[in-house]
Amino acid sequence: MEFTAGNKEFEALNMQLNDLEKLEKYKMLYDGYRTNILPRFIGGLLVRLGNIMYGHEPSYLKFRSIEITARVPYCSWSSAVYTLLTFFYFDERKAIKLSSIARYAGIAHDNETMHLIVISHLARAEKRAGRIRHALLPIFFSIFYFCAIYILFLVRPRWSFELNYLFEQDAFNQYSRFLDLHDEDLKNKLIESKFLEWYGRNPKNQYDFFRSVRNDEIIHRNQSIQNIDTEADGRRVRFLKFITACVVAAAFGIGAYIFLW
C-alpha cells in the first residue's frame, strides 16, 4: 500500500491548471471574495510583515520563508479537529464534516511540505540564508499563525478559512509574478530532487516546478472557501452569543449584588 505519494485527484487538478484558460476560470470562482475584518487584519499584517522582511518582489529565499509558515494552518486545522472530536464524537454528521477537513488538511500539509523541502534545496544553490531573518523569524510567524488559525477555527471556523484564503492568495500572486519575471531563466534551470521524485512530480525544469506550485496555491485558496460549513458556522455564532449573554448577565448580577450589598 502506498501512503507517501501526492494525492491523485489533487495532482490531476494541478495538471489541468497548466492550461491558462482553465486556470483563469478556476481562479474566478473565488476572486474578490469578501472576508471578515478580523481575518483581513491578521492576513494583511502577515503579508505586510513578509514584504518588509523579505522584499516586495518574489525570490527563492522569500519563498522559503513563506513555505515555512504556509504548512502551519493545515497542521492547526488537524489539531483543532482532533480537539473538537474529543468532545463531539457522538454527533456523526459533525464527525464526518470535521474528518473531511482533517483529511484535506493532511493532503495540503504534505503538499506544502514538498514546497518547503524542494524550494529550500533550490534556495541553497542560489543564495545564503540569514539565520535570524530566514530561519528564526519564519518560526515566530508560524507560531503566531498556528495559534490564530487554531483559535479562530474553534471560535468561528469561517474566519479561520478566510485567513488562509488571504495567505494563499498572496502566495499565488508571488509565484505568478516569479514566473512572469524569470520565465526564460527558469526554463533553462534543471531541477533534481529526490523528495520531489518520492512525492510523484517530475518537472522538466524549474519553470515547470514553480508553475505546479503556483497551481497548488490557487487550489489551496479555493479549497479554503469550499471548506466553509455555513450551517456549523451559524451554530457556533449562536453558541458564542449564548456564552456572551451568560457572561454579561453574570457580570451584571455580581455588579448589582456588590452595589446593593
Residue ranges binding Fe ion (CB under 5 A): 70, 112, 115, 168, 217, 220
Pick the closer one to Fe ion by CB: 1 or 12: 12
Q: How far, in whole angstroms, is CA 250 from its chain's centroid?
A: 38
Provide the minimum distance between the beta carbon of 246 and Fe ion in the complex, in angstroms, as a whole number.
Answer: 39
Pick the closer one to Fe ion by CB: 84 or 163: 163
Pick the closer one to Fe ion by CB: 80 or 84: 80
Provide the minimum distance between the beta carbon of 121 and Fe ion in the complex, in angstroms, as a whole number.
Answer: 14
- Residue 43 backbone class (left: φ over 0; alpha: ψ -120 to 50; beta: rest): alpha
Q: Which residues contact 199 (CB under 8 A, 6 or more apart)?
A: 4, 5, 6, 110, 114
Provide the minimum distance between the beta carbon of 107 and Fe ion in the complex, in angstroms, as a whole number.
Answer: 12
Cell numbers for 148, please give them: 490564530
Residue keyed to cell 506544502:
112
Cell numbers for 200, please give them: 510523484
Provide the minimum distance between the beta carbon of 114 and Fe ion in the complex, in angstroms, as a whole number.
Answer: 9
Provide the minimum distance between the beta carbon of 135 and Fe ion in the complex, in angstroms, as a whole number.
Answer: 18
Tell me how far apart the alpha carbons of residues 173 and 38 are, in angstroms, rounded to a whole number: 22
Q: Which residues contact 67 (CB under 8 A, 6 or more apart)?
A: 112, 115, 116, 119, 120
Pick the closer one to Fe ion by CB: 84 or 178: 178
Q: Give CA separation, 108 vs 18, 40, 59, 186, 195, in Å.
A: 19, 22, 23, 25, 16
Pick the closer one to Fe ion by CB: 115 or 158: 115
